[in-house]
Each structure stands twice: as C-alpha cells, then as structure tokens.
Amino acid sequence: MRQGSGESPGAAAARLTGLRVAGERRLSGALAQLTLDDGRAVIVKSGDAPGSVRAEAAGLRWLADAGAVRIPAVRGCDARWLVTDHVPEGRPDARAAVQFGRDLAALHAAGAPAFGAPPPDGPNDAYIGRAPMRNVPGTDWPGWYAEHRVLPYLHQAVDDGTVRPAEAALVERVCERLPELAGPAEAPARLHGDLWNGNVLWGADGHAWLIDPAAHGGHRETDLAMLRLFGCPHLEAVLDGYQQAAPLADGWRDRTGLHQLFPLLVHAVLFGRGYAEQALDVARAASAG
C-alpha cells in the first residue's frame, strides 16, 4: 500500500522495513506494537506535524551515536511514520537508576556543536511534544536560552491569554538576569531535550532507555531539571550516579527552577494556566534570590 492518510501502521512498517507483519496491537491512535515475521517486535508511530517524524528519528540516531544511554534503534521512517525497536519494560530500581545517571552524564559529555544545534540531518524547525521548537545555534547559553527557549513560549502564552502582560514582565526580567544567575559557563551538551519520566523506559534488561527526544545542544542541567519537574523513580539515585561520573557546578540545585522555565512555559502553551502559574512562581523565586 502506498503511503497516505489511509495507510495502516502494519502496512507502513512492512513498507519501511521490507518485512511482513505477523501481529499487530494498537496502543493508541498514533502508536502500535507490531511483530515482524523475523520475530522482532517494533513500535510504529505516526506524526502529522511537518518535520516531526524526521526530527524524532534524527534525534534518536544522534543520541544513540553517543554510545551512552540505551536508545531504541530506528528501523525505518518517512515523512509520516517512524518504526523503532520495542523495549520490553521492567521495574525501576536504585541500581539501574545510578547507572542511568552515569549513562546520562556520558550522553551529555558527547557534546554538540553549539547551543541550539539540531541533530545531524535533523530539521531546525522541530518539536517538543506537540509544540514547535526552533533550533537556532548560539554560543552564549544565557542569551540563547532566553531568546530561543523561554521567550517564544512566554510570548505565545501571552498571545493566548494564558499569561497576562504584567506577569510576563516578571519572566522577562529573569531572562535579563540570566548571565548572573546561570552559574559557570559550560560547553554545549547533547540533550535529550524532553526528559520527563514518560520518556524514560525502565527495561526488562535492567537498564533505562530513552524515547521521544527533542534533541538539541543545550545545558546539561536542563535535562536534569526536567526529570525533577515531572518526577522520576529513584531520582536521587540517578543524580548520585550522574555526580559520580560528571560532578555538576556548585549551586546547581538552586538553578533548577531557571532550567524548568522552558518546559513549564511549553506546557502553559499546550495545557493552560496551571503550568503558567508554576512558571511565574519560579520567576518570582529567581527574582527574590
């Protein structure tokens, strides 16, 4: 069957892998788990936003190239469909969490050409969840983070009526102070970019796997701040493992809120006022510090 709006996940997987589908289980409207005739289990995901599948596939490959955190292999993709290996899930435990922290540190240390650099072959116009995310390279983290990660979503939230202009001024003042609040300068890290707990799979093999990236060059504390924001099993063990491999600069816990401004404002754009209020609380705390 040719690609099109009526193509099924099974037909897409067969076309992209060259293998027949022996079994199919729908997980949601956009996801299916398939068994191919060679016995391999795969996940098939559809994306309707222009460039979203290309961005995700490029991000998965870039993260995998670091040889650090485990990443499901990309088995095929086109403009609409992505086929990756299925990860059998287990239960998180402290030992796996410590190793995940070490592996995440190694992923970040693999680096990126610049803050905002997209993965090789990845588009500049990418996505974080369902929100557009533009990758524009920069050399100065505080200025880049304000201009390309915080302010675009703040202004969208104002346009949508989710944040009032007077409230937006509070966040804008924090952005102006980022050079003094950001801590010591660091080289661009290779970020997952959307590292909430739902994108960490605790595999049956005893390791953590990462899926659904919004990969780009950024500050390593941003990934860690997102893990804390949305909760992660055995988070302190993850952080202990990270610190063992690549100690963070002094004051990193105090900077967590600054790095959470980005995902909070993204969620304010996608989901409304509750997340905007959290972002404003973060901005108030930063202003008081």
- The pLDDT, as a whole number, for residue 3 is 41
- The pLDDT, as a whole number, for residue 4 is 44
9-85 CATH: 3.30.200.20
- The pLDDT, as a whole number, for residue 49 is 84
Phi, then psi, of 288 in degrees rounded to 5: -80, -20
Say how far apart CA 160 and CA 71 lie, in whole Å: 36
Contact by Cβ (8 Å): 128, 116:
no
Say how far apart CA 213 and CA 172 lie, in whole Å: 27
pLDDT tens, position by position, 90-108: 999 999 999 999 999 999 9
Catalytically active residues are 194
pLDDT tens, position by position, 36-79: 999 999 999 998 788 899 999 999 999 999 999 999 999 999 99
pLDDT tens, position by position, 202-232: 999 999 999 999 999 999 999 999 999 988 9
Superfamily of domain 94-288: Aminoglycoside phosphotransferase (APH), C-terminal lobe (3.90.1200.10)
pTM: 0.94
Q: What is the 3-state secondary structure (H, E, C) of the chain?
A: CCCCCCCCHHHHHHHHHCCCEEEEEECCCCEEEEEECCCCEEEEEECCCCCHHHHHHHHHHHHHHCCCCECCCEEEECCCEEEEECCCECCCCHHHHHHHHHHHHHHHHCCCCCECCCCCCCCCEEEECCEEEECCCECCHHHHHHHHHHHHHHHHHHHHCCCCHHHHHHHHHHHHHHHHHCCCCCCCEEECCCCCHHHEEEECCCCEEECCCCCEEECHHHHHHHHHHHCCCCHHHHHHHHHHHCCCCCCCHHHHHHHHHHHHHHHHHHHCHHHHHHHHHHHHHHHHC
pLDDT tens, position by position, 228-248: 998 899 999 999 999 999 999
Domain ranges within the chain, ordered by starting residue: 9-85, 94-288
